[in-house]
Amino acid sequence: MEQGKIILLNGVSSSGKTSVAKAIQDAANEHFYHICNDMFVKLEVEMLCAKFVAKAGKHGAYSYEYMAESCVLMYHFAKTMVGLGINVIFETMLCDTEGFLEKYNMSNLDIFHDILKGLDIFMVELFCPLDECSRRNVERGDRGINQSTQQHELMHKNIQFDFSVDTSIHSAEECADKILSIFYRT
């Protein structure tokens, strides 16, 4: 069975990952499933942290250890899909919190590379100025105004990307076209 392909979109909150992923799905000449951090964090909050949420009586009971677990689960899920010949658009933030080192004794990036080693991953950086991300966060209403800045501070700085695109000057459709034109050339 032929292995599936991965297009990884890396960027902070409100950098346009989901919009670009959907635009890639619409423009690609083959089917790509879309998986993202939000899917797995939702699972983590609803299932893994239910007892903490109940004790706290609010959504705020959150653990970086559980976030690390949800990321590792997501990496294994992507690996399984690709192994089954399924193409994946993988939307994430390759950043580190204390949960990765505490639970796995490795950085998030090292865990990512360890689990997905041997797979052909087209790594895309979605860049957007932090002031624009903050504006988008406020407009969305479900993110903190400083969330993107905080994530940027945790983001790995030495990631080797195959391509980078600025979502503040290009529409999601333009970004998708640019990404796919390079992706299909490699």
CATH code of residue 156: 3.40.50.300
Contacts 24+ apart (CB under 8 A), 118-121: 119/3, 119/6, 119/79, 119/82, 120/3, 120/5, 120/6, 121/6, 121/8, 121/90
Share of the chain above pLDDT 70, in %: 72
Residue 24 domain flag: yes
Phi, psi of 155 (to 5 degrees): -65, 140
Q: pLDDT-derived band of residue 155, with 50, 70 and 90 as boundaries?
A: low
| Residue-range definition of the domain harbouring residue 43 | 6-183
Residue 149 domain flag: yes
Residue 1 domain flag: no
Element (H, E) at 124: strand 121-127
Overall average pLDDT of the 29-35 stretch = 94
Residue 132 domain flag: yes
Model's pTM, two decimal places?
A: 0.82
Residue 62 domain flag: yes
- Identify the pLDDT of residue 143: 63
The predicted-structure confidence for 12-26, as pLDDT tens digits, reads as follows: 776 788 899 999 999
CA angle, residues 143, 146, 148, in degrees to nearest 5: 75
Per the model's pLDDT, the better-predicted residue between 154 and 1 turns out to be: 1
- Provide the domain count of the chain: 1
Residue 95 domain flag: yes
The predicted-structure confidence for 40-89, as pLDDT tens digits, reads as follows: 766 655 555 555 555 544 444 456 677 788 888 899 999 999 999 999 99
Residue 78 domain flag: yes
Q: pLDDT-derived band of residue 95, with 50, 70 and 90 as boundaries?
A: confident
The answer for residues whose C-beta is within 8 angstroms of residue 181's C-beta and 6 or more apart is none
- Identify the pLDDT of residue 158: 81
- Identify the pLDDT of residue 36: 87
Average pLDDT value over all residues in the chain: 81
Overall average pLDDT of the 138-142 stretch = 65
Overall average pLDDT of the 95-111 stretch = 84
Residue 55 domain flag: yes
Q: Is the pLDDT of residue 151 over 90?
A: no
